[in-house]
Amino acid sequence: MKVLITDGIDSQCAQILKQNGFDVTEKPKISKEELKEIIGDFDKLIVRSATKVTSEIIEAGKKLQLIGRAGAGVDNIDIEAATRNGIIVMNTPGGNTISAAEHTCAMMLSAARLIPQATADLKQGNWNKTKFTGVELEGKTLSIIGLGKIGREVASRMQAFGMKTIAYDPMIPDEFAAHLNIELLPLHENFIRADFITIHSSLNESTRNLISEGTFELMKQGVIIVNCARGGIINEADLAEAIESGKVRAAALDVFETEPVKADNPLLKLERVIVTPHIAASTNEAQEKVAVQIAEQIVEWKRRGKLEGAVNASAVELAQAPGVSAYLALAEKLGATLAQLAPSQANKMTVFTSGEFLHKFNEVITAAALKGFLDVRQSKDTNYINAFTMAKECGIGLEQKFEKENPDYTNLIRIELENGSEKRMIGGTVFGDKEIRIVMIDQFLVEFKPEGHIIIYNNIDKPGVIAHVTQLLLQHNLNVAYVALSRDEEKKVAMTAIVVDGEVSDALLQAVSSVNGVSSANLVLL
């Protein structure tokens, strides 16, 4: 059992592993080339954030069974490649929460009071009391973008300073946030009302450049911005312009789009920008916690087969099961589609499976449905292991039910989503070994392949509606790949799903919504 440890992880990690019979090699500053060359000799790899465990590295690790991340994020590990190769990926959630929250608060205070700048100026022999006049936190409004563990810890600490806390997190119910004395608001309202903004979201396609030129225009004059989450969420060039114009009073950044940060980054030249080199989690306590935690998790895996902190264990275990992978992919597609059709908040999800084959896989199918749903609805990475916990944290109640055989489909997955009195439903099946199909939405039996750009709309069942819609598609130079139609039993209302080749603009979707007889139109991206 050979373990390779990189990135200067606290020595307690190696000590614990050696005490439990592991052969440990430590290479704290290993290059990508050397890692690729030697990884084939090791069963396990433990990293922090510096080592990028790419698909190329994973393919070279012919003996790899496990990749451990001494920290919460796993964005430096290609989880898809690891899963494909049957390699378990583990992290240590919560180990550095307090350190990251405290660093965020320190950065906020420093930006408000210009502490680093005043220190540097004083050490140069100056005594400029008026130059470094700051602003108080008491009575100010703090916007928290992403209300996960770190965001909540920041909120409780800054509330002690007398700050009013508001937040944006589409997966957190209002009552859950209210219990924390936090007011949930739409994203644009956060930007409009905030005196301070702190980012606590992961980086993905929905959050990249989340704060940029357009959002700066919504903000108050003199807003202060803190980012100790991930680089790339803030457009750095736009931030530099906003600071130079005075729109943003100050910024405090621990993370950058490119790390190590380049010397010519314009933010480094601005006096009112405070920077640290991605050290929010770099405290003695946090380093020890995550080092001990990952070592103990690996020992537990060796002794008892327990997969605490594993982010892809179910996928690894079930990827080889004949016929199951297609249903897991279907469940993710159903969850992702429902997330784009249903209201922004939900308090209950019920996952139904029918067919004897699916009965024993009910739990992992539910996890897959949650993953598809949460991947669309929130910015944090979701996997089969953490899906249930994340749903609970977001206030979503879960039920898993097994139905009798469906008369029309041998195996069927249905998902119901509730928000008070409103309920949406979607169902699907697999034809043959891998032909995934959505076969029902609400009361409509409508069959189509969940793939690409799909326009789904409801309309009064009368002649001419689909002709009008297809004419709009033609005007926007979009080819129709597939059309599915359905009517309710009374033949008064219809649903249409149109799969198109190419991107659907907001203007086109609005035009479809405005067609006489169309009551609602949604764009689903899969």
pLDDT digits (tens, 9 = 90+) for 486-514: 988 777 899 999 999 999 999 999 999 99
**Over the stretch 88-104, which tens digit does the pLDDT of each residue have?**
999 997 788 999 999 99
**pLDDT confidence of residue 311:** 83
CB-neighbour burial class of residue 124 (10 A; exposed 0-12, middle 13-18, buried 19+): exposed
On the CB side of 272, how many CA atoms lie within 13 Å of its CA?
A: 23
Looking at the predicted structure, is the pLDDT value of residue 39 above 60?
yes
Q: What is the mean pLDDT of residues 422-435?
A: 92
Two structure tokens written together for 392:
């609970």
Please state the three-class secondary structure of 332-355 as a single string: HHHHHHHHHHCCCCCCEEEEEEEC
Confidence of residue 289 (pLDDT cuts 50, 70, 90): very high
pLDDT in tens, 157-208: 999 999 999 999 987 888 889 999 999 999 999 999 999 999 998 887 788 9
| Cα–Cα distance measured from residue 479 to residue 497, given in angstroms and rounded to the nearest whole number | 14
- Single out the residue of 439, 421, 412 nearest to residue 351, CA to CA: 412
- Please report the pLDDT score of residue 525 as a whole number: 94
Domain boundaries, the chain: 2-92+285-311, 97-275, 326-525
Tens digits of residue pLDDT in 339-354: 999 867 788 999 999 9
DSSP state string for 248-288: EEEEEES--SSSSPPTT-GGGG-TTEEE-SS-TT-SHHHHH
User: What tokens were used for 483?
Assistant: 């059309």
Higher pLDDT, 335 or 87: 335
Cα 173 → chain centroid: 17
Q: Are 115 and 125 in contact (CB under 8 A)?
A: no
Please list, in sequence order, all residues whose beta carbon lies within 8 angstroms of the beta carbon of residue 494, skipping any fewer than 6 positions away: 444, 458, 459, 460, 461, 465, 485, 486, 487, 488
Residue-level pLDDT at 206: 81
Three-class SS state of 330: helix
Catalytic residue, chosen from 103, 230, 249, 414, is 230
Task: State how far the alpha carbon of 482 is from the alpha carbons of 171, 444, 453, 508, in Å.
Answer: 32, 17, 11, 18
- Helices 362-377 and 324-341 cross at an angle (nearest 10°) of 40
User: Does 97-275 match 2-92+285-311 at the fold level?
Assistant: yes
pLDDT at 429: 96
Average pLDDT across the chain, whole number: 91
Q: Are 252 and 108 in contact (CB under 8 A)?
A: yes
Active site residue 179: no
259 is known as an active-site residue? yes
* CA–CA gap between residue 290 and residue 35 (Å, rounded): 22
The tokens for 270 are 């601005």
* Distance between CA atoms of residues 215 and 107, nearest Å: 22
Gap between the Cα atoms of 431 and 518, Å rounded: 31
Mean pLDDT in residue range 148-165: 96
For 130-162, b/e burial (b = at least 16 CB within 10 A) is eeeeeeebeebbbbbbbbbbbbbbbbebbeebe
Instruction: Check if 230 is active-site.
Output: yes
**433-451 per-position pLDDT tens digit:** 889 999 999 999 999 999 9
> Per-residue confidence at 425, pLDDT binned at 50, 70, 90?
very high
Is CATH 3.40.50.300 the classification given to domain 326-525? no
Residues 6+ apart with CB under 8 A from 461: 487, 491, 492, 493, 494
Question: What pLDDT score was predicted for residue 319?
Answer: 47
CB atoms near residue 51 (< 10 Å): 25
Structure tokens at 186: 């739409």
The residue count of the chain comes to 526
Pick the CATH number of 2-92+285-311 from 3.40.50.720, 2.40.30.130, 3.40.50.12780, 2.40.160.10: 3.40.50.720
* Res. 121: pLDDT tops 90: yes
Residue 521 has what pLDDT? 92
CA angle 154, 11, 300 (to 5 degrees): 80
Choosing from 278, 332, 377, 414, the catalytic residue is 278
Percentage of the chain surpassing pLDDT 90? Answer: 71
pLDDT by residue (tens digit) across 226-280?
999 999 999 999 999 999 999 999 999 999 999 999 999 999 999 999 999 999 9
* HEC letters along 416-478: EEEECCEEEEEEEEEECCCEEEEEEECCECCCECCCCEEEEEEEECCCCHHHHHHHHHHHCCC
Q: Answer whether residue 125 shows pLDDT above 90.
A: yes
Contact 229, 255 (CB under 8 A): yes
pLDDT surpassing 90 at residue 455 = yes
pLDDT tens digits, 311-370: 887 655 664 566 788 999 999 999 999 999 986 778 899 999 998 888 878 888 998 999
CA dihedral 471, 477, 479, 480 (to 10 degrees): -30
Could you confirm whether domain 97-275 is CATH 3.40.50.720? yes
Annotated catalytic residue, options 244, 259, 435, 451: 259
Distance separating alpha carbons of residues 94 and 73, to the nearest angstrom: 10
What pLDDT, on a 0 to 100 scale, did the predictor assign at position 381? 61
